[in-house]
Structure 1
Amino acid sequence: MLSKGVGLFPTESAAKMCEYVQLSESLGYDHVWFGDSQNIWRESSTVMGAAAVGTTKVVLGTGVTNAVTRHPSLLASTWATLAEMTDGRVALGIGTGDSSLRTMGLKPLKLAELEESITQLRTLFRGEKVREATSGAEYHLNYLTAPVDIPIYIAASAPKILKMSGRIADGVIVLVGTAPHFIEAALKTIEEGAAESGRTLDDIHIVLWTPTAISDDRKEARDLVRAHVSRVAIRPLPAQVEPELESAIDRIRQSYNYYEHMNTEASHADLVPDELVDLFALAGTRDECALRLKQIESLGVDQVSIVPFVRPGESRAPTIRAFAEIVDNQS
């Protein structure tokens, strides 16, 4: 059975974010994932701590953090503390770094650096020592009295990181769109990586991350997701888009503004044609979204995690409710 997740960028107050989390829990969502980009959104770890207080079942995660602005010692301590607060209801989503770095002119981690960071985190979660890369000094989490089990999810879209995720991750947050051929290509690549470590896809929790807008006004829904679609489309992907769409993607890539990252009114959103929306989003009427969701469910994804998009000042609650109803009606 397909599980429900929701990705929330902290663009509103911590109190409002907590309301969304409590609503999601009441509707049977399994995970709430928080965007982590300190220059454009509110502080993710603070919001997660606040949300933890008012919930009892939903798993709280990042979608996603990084090991540059968050030193591994800080990441480890943050997540060990959150795990303690929630009795283990946490999922550490991590990637190479995107807007959190690019808004400061910093470059994402190389894959080998990301893998080393994950190795260090797991060592720290066991209560063992790691060596700090710059100083050479050893450090550990002094307050741990026993190992803490925190699943690590890697955000992935390009083939190399998809394969690495299959090899080392507990879960993969797959950002490749909603078109079946993209999802199938991603799963095949993850499976190849899993085989390298003696695993199968059954050993990895697959989360499909998708920009979502559900409305009776089909055009309105499609317009709302264009900003997120633009970010997905300019990433390396596990399958090719049609040649005629490549020029549109190039135009988006050249104009992308990271301070307007995921902003529905971003200037680069206007460059996204309908054909890309069809490939990379869940956007349209309830019936249209239900049909696409049924196609996705047949592919072997464990969870669809929506990123609800609405106009500035509007509540994300109706979209969170609508998606829950679509999934529940299909189960």
Structure 2
Amino acid sequence: MDIGVVLQCNPPASRVVELAVRAENLGFSHVWTFDSHLLWQEPYVIYSAILAATRKVVVGPMVTNPATRDWTVTASTFATLNEMYGNRTVCGIGRGDSAVRTLNGAPTTLATLRESVEVIRDLANSRVAHHDGRSLRFPWSEGSSLEVWVAAYGPKALQLTGEIGDGFILQLGDPEIAAWMIDRVRSAAAAAGRDPESVTFCVAAPAYVTADDSPEALAAARDQCRWFGGMVGNHVADIVSRYGSAGEVPQALTDYVEGRAGYDYNEHGRVGNSHTDFVPDEIVDRFCIIGTAADHLAKLEQLRSVGVDQFAVYLQHNAKSATLEEYGENIIPALRPPVTAIG
């Protein structure tokens, strides 16, 4: 299992680059960032600095969208980064949340998302793309390689992911829900004539390592990660409004949003925000990974057993350095198969 890290592009940008370099040196495979240009600094500028300062790590947005950026510009950006730094990018994409809603917009349709994935992927892989009645290609791009991973929660979005996605991003660390969603994506891939095993499955959630399992330590960790339950609840509320709370989506995912009063994007992804009172400790424990290193390893093994290929650590809390170090020194090495010099 790969381990990635998800950063916010808070100033100074040099701090984001520093965390990315440390993550690579500690064995993390991917560095992701939020892509919400009103709330944070421009990620693609920062990706260039990260790629210049690292050797192997793969970078990309978790997630971009088809609404706030022209698809051909997005593809050109990735193709340019690949030419400069050697195919070390990945594009996470969804219908749009904070980037569009802070501008009083709305998420795109799934049909628009589908078309954007095809256009971005073809152009950023140095191929011809068909867009708005024209055949397009970057004449300067040769050998660029880009995978497009789709972020999804609802049944129709999961179906789309299985049909066209190179990867699936689930922003939620509950093994039971992950298993259900991965099964839906795999079934859709098989129905579309694709190899279900060709889809990469990435789960992203906050991870907070505690020194022990004392009530005090766990309570402090939960308070640092509770924001995530609010963010997920914001997405789930859209699903409930469309499918109902007793529809196709597991009730383990939908039940807790009944007490949700609203969402303030000024506090999006921030610890201590004011719209998480409805998120109980049980949801924080299920959706995040909290506890000792042994607790993290146990949950990561559960996620790996249901088909997760990468766990991406949301690093939005007060223990950024400690979490990176604990994962790099103890958790990532323990996930690797043992290799001996002498057989």
Q: TM-score, normalised by structure 1?
A: 0.90
User: Which runs of structure 2 are paired with 1:64-75 in the superposition (5 Å)?
Assistant: 64-75=63-74
User: Which runs of structure 2 are paired with 1:1-331 in the superposition (5 Å)?
Assistant: 2-125=1-124, 126-128=126-128, 130-132=130-132, 138=134, 140=136, 142-146=138-142, 148-175=144-171, 177-216=172-211, 217-236=217-236, 239-242=249-252, 246=255, 248-252=256-260, 254-311=261-318, 316-324=320-328, 325-331=330-336
In structure 2, how many angstroms separate the alpha carbons of the residues matched to 1:147 and 1:120?
17
Q: List runs of 5+ in structure 1 lacking aligned partners.
A: none
Deviation readout 1:99-148 (Å, 9 max, x if unpaired): 0011111010111110011122233233435434xxx6x47454424352
Aligned-pair distance for 1:84? 1.1
Deviation readout 1:206-228 (Å, 9 max, x if unpaired): 11111222223211111111111
Are residues 226 and 122 of structure 1, via their aligned partners in 2, closer, same or farther at CA, if it must alter by over 3 Å?
A: same
Deviation readout 1:5-45 (Å, 9 max, x if unpaired): 11111124210111111111111111111110001111111
Provide the secondary structure at the position in 2 that maps to 1:211: strand
* More off after superposition, 226-235 vs 273-282: 226-235
In structure 1, how many angstroms separate the alpha carbons of the residues matched to 2:131 and 2:138?
15
In structure 1, how many angstroms separate the alpha carbons of the residues matched to 2:89 and 2:278?
37
Residue-pair matches, total: 319
Provide the secondary structure at the position in 1 that maps to 2:194: coil
Q: List runs of 5+ in structure 2 lacking aligned partners.
A: 212-216, 240-247, 337-343
Aligned-pair distance for 1:317? 2.0
In structure 1, how many angstroms separate the alpha carbons of the residues matched to 2:185 and 2:163?
8
Deviation readout 1:238-295 (Å, 9 max, x if unpaired): 742359x83x41333x321112111112101233111111221112332322222222
In structure 2, how many angstroms separate the alpha carbons of the residues matched to 1:6 and 1:14?
16
Contact kept? 2:4, 2:32, Cα under 8 Å = yes
Provide the secondary structure at the position in 2 that maps to 1:213: strand
Structure 1 segments, 4+ long, off by >3 Å, are 129-132, 138-143, 236-239
Give the AA of the match of 1:227.
W
In structure 1, how many angstroms separate the alpha carbons of the residues matched to 2:289 and 2:192?
33
Aligned-pair distance for 1:305? 0.7
Aligned-pair distance for 1:230? 1.4
Provide the secondary structure at the position in 2 that maps to 1:271: coil
Are residues 260 and 109 of structure 1, via their aligned partners in 2, closer, same or farther at CA, if it must alter by over 3 Å?
A: same
Contact kept? 2:228, 2:269, Cα under 8 Å = yes
Provide the secondary structure at the position in 2 that maps to 1:267: coil
Q: TM-score, normalised by structure 2?
A: 0.87
Contact kept? 2:31, 2:59, Cα under 8 Å = yes
Contact kept? 1:233, 1:280, Cα under 8 Å = no
Contact kept? 1:233, 1:276, Cα under 8 Å = no
Cα-Cα RMSD:
2.1
Identity %: 31
Give the AA of the match of 1:317.
S
In structure 2, how many angstroms separate the alpha carbons of the residues matched to 1:142 and 1:188?
36
In structure 1, how many angstroms separate the alpha carbons of the residues matched to 2:322 and 2:283?
25
Contact kept? 2:5, 2:32, Cα under 8 Å = yes
Contact kept? 2:6, 2:313, Cα under 8 Å = yes
Aligned-pair distance for 1:309? 2.7
Provide the secondary structure at the position in 1 that maps to 2:106: coil
In structure 2, how many angstroms separate the alpha carbons of the residues matched to 1:278 and 1:239?
20
Are residues 189 and 273 of structure 1, via their aligned partners in 2, closer, same or farther at CA, if it must alter by over 3 Å?
A: same
In structure 2, how many angstroms separate the alpha carbons of the residues matched to 1:197 and 1:171?
15
Provide the secondary structure at the position in 2 that maps to 1:219: helix
Provide the secondary structure at the position in 1 that maps to 2:51: helix
Provide the secondary structure at the position in 2 that maps to 1:105: coil
Are residues 275 and 88 of structure 1, via their aligned partners in 2, closer, same or farther at CA, if it must alter by over 3 Å?
A: same
